[in-house]
Amino acid sequence: MKKFFLLLLVLPVIVLSCSGGGSSSGGGSSSADYQFLFEHNAKELDGHTIRWESNTIKVYTGGISGAESAINRWAGPVNFNFVSSPPSDGVSFSFTSSGSYCGVTNTYYLNSGRITQAVVQIETNQIFCRGGLDNTVTHEMGHALGFFGHTADGGLMDPDGGNSNITSPVQNFMNLLYSNPYGYTITPVPSLKAKMIGVRYQTNGNQVFVRVDY
């Protein structure tokens, strides 16, 4: 019983530590969809979207069992080219033994809005991670695609990623993000104008920023 209660005490600590850390169509998207896109992506770059240039993204899974299937849950607005070595212009997964988080994603992007690389580390021991290995991989891949921060709707992109469900707002986010080129401005949406601060964005910018999400 002592061991059981000890696990109950440790679990909240480790689960909580998994928390965070152009123009075209988007046809049919609502103002709420744009608001969501702003809050979880474009707010990072003065109201301009941050995404991969191509809708086909290179991914190295690092030999993580079941990773391809977990990553392919995002297929639709994007597709994946699984490669045999870490790409300099794609997503690289690897195991780590940090003991302090379930997974962490470093997403590198230019101030033009183009993601150039993402490096994902997955905790080897997933015993205290509510969603287990598959959900952790899918959750971190969501960050690598450009979903920044977390939701609070009981779905996969919640801080602990305990539910495998990709909720409608998150799916709409991906559809909208990848239906327009990187650097697409969403600031004309009236409710977002007041939130604009900063001067990071440049149309042909090559300054590198990194976004860290857990």
> What span, in angstroms and rounded, lies between the C-alpha atoms of 213 and 34?
21
Per-residue pLDDT tens for 178-201?
Answer: 999 999 998 655 555 555 556 789
Annotated domain spans of the chain: 28-213
Phi and psi at residue 95, to the nearest 5°:
-85, 150
User: Is the distance from CB of 201 to CB of 113 less than 8 angstroms?
Assistant: yes
36 SS3 class:
helix
User: Is the distance from CB of 72 to CB of 79 less than 8 angstroms?
Assistant: no
Q: pTM here?
A: 0.85
Per-residue pLDDT tens for 89-132?
Answer: 999 999 999 888 999 999 999 999 999 999 999 999 999 898 89
Going by CATH, does the domain composed of 28-213 fall within 1.10.10.1100? no
